[in-house]
Structure 1
């Protein structure tokens, strides 16, 4: 079965690796991110793959974009949505006492609040059995080790975890499944910004393989769950 998959933050890091993984598996993918240039480069890279699924993309800013227009583009290309990975996120590495209100507010808007209009607009395209996967962090997993400078980021990811549980409860009658993966260290630009000089045990393509498999099959076993995925601290 060819899945119809939406991925946010699909131009770099884990999101880019996920796009490549799903396409090579033959699934159709609609990805969006702020960088049109990076998405175009990814499209060109995948164009030579004859067995890949169809790749659709658009430049979109979660803080200022028109969600109705975005949903229209998804509808016109994919037609429906069977899988969604909310991968886009923002990092702030700054001590709590130095974090301005507007900095924390923007962080929460990107990491949590935009999911309200995003999913509300895409929900009519979701069919029974659709699996929504929110990418959160071990930093937002209750009881995990916390690090100085990441208080706002970790708090936003913790909020995303609770939102995941709440959406799963609300969407259950529609047979829409919602889970979150709390990822540990993956070698991406965001990790380098959070922990300069740290070498992660997993690359983005390696983690993408796991996330892709969970996105395709995890709803058979889980709903409303926050699953830690980490072999290291951080």
Structure 2
């Protein structure tokens, strides 16, 4: 069975994916700052409390892989930070934090884990429709949506750089899903999909999508936003 790393597993889609993979018999390394008790108790889940925006935290990840797994088959970059604030009021530190989590954290985890990935491995980055060029944009999300655009380009570049090694990189740009993060951005908005439904889609794509795609951005949205 595959060894799968998932970030942002404390709630929402990441939490659902960790349980879904683990219940199917896969080995899951769940990374989040807060660790839910239900994940810690699952025999197929190893939880590490880590902030992927802090480089030192990733040493715990590499140590675990080196001593226990030896190999990683799938990474799902699901962790994300959101800021809803007028552009003129965003501080430099706030802008930097959004990029640390949404872009630099993704890059750092890739650098840490790629040495343990072999041909046929798959790196899936969860982005947003807000990061798609030409898509509808929403006021107040300049830091968040621009960071999600940056991580799309990063994934496309890594797909090219690692294609000879047979490691695929793809992006899923999600539309509205009923999660806590959505309510932070659009209070009261009822999205057409639940976190569990989106988890089903992402899990299947992570397992099989690299057979059909590499360096691609798939828009996974049935509504606006």
CA distance in 1, matches of 2:111, 2:161: 12
2:37 pairs with 1:31: no
Residue 125 of structure 2, aligned match among 127, 134, 139: 134
Partner SS state of residue 66, structure 1: helix
Please give the TM-score of this superposition, normalised by the length of structure 1.
0.92
How big is the shift at 1:199?
0.6
Match of 1:111 in 2: 102
2:146 pairs with 1:166: no
Please list every run of 5 or more consecutive structure 2 residues that lacks an aligned counterpart in the other structure: none
Q: What is the CA RMSD across the aligned residues, in angstroms? A: 1.2
8 Å Cα contact 1:30-1:78 kept in structure 2: no
Match of 1:62 in 2: 52
Partner SS state of residue 210, structure 1: helix
The within-5 A match list for 1:66-215 is: 66-215=57-206
8 Å Cα contact 2:39-2:45 kept in structure 1: no
CA distance in 2, matches of 1:181, 1:145: 17
8 Å Cα contact 2:50-2:58 kept in structure 1: no
> Cα deviations across residues 39-81 of structure 1 (Å, max 9, x unaligned)?
x33233x45xxxxxx2111100123343233211133333310
Partner SS state of residue 210, structure 2: helix
CA distance in 2, matches of 1:103, 1:192: 20
Partner SS state of residue 56, structure 1: strand
Return 222-231 or 111-120, whichever deviates more.
Answer: 111-120
Match of 1:50 in 2: none
The within-5 A match list for 1:17-56 is: 17-36=16-35, 38=36, 40-44=37-41, 46=42, 54-56=44-46
How big is the shift at 1:11?
1.7
Which runs of at least 4 in structure 1 moved beyond 4 Å after TM superposition? none
CA distance in 2, matches of 1:187, 1:78: 33
Please give the TM-score of this superposition, normalised by the length of structure 2.
0.96
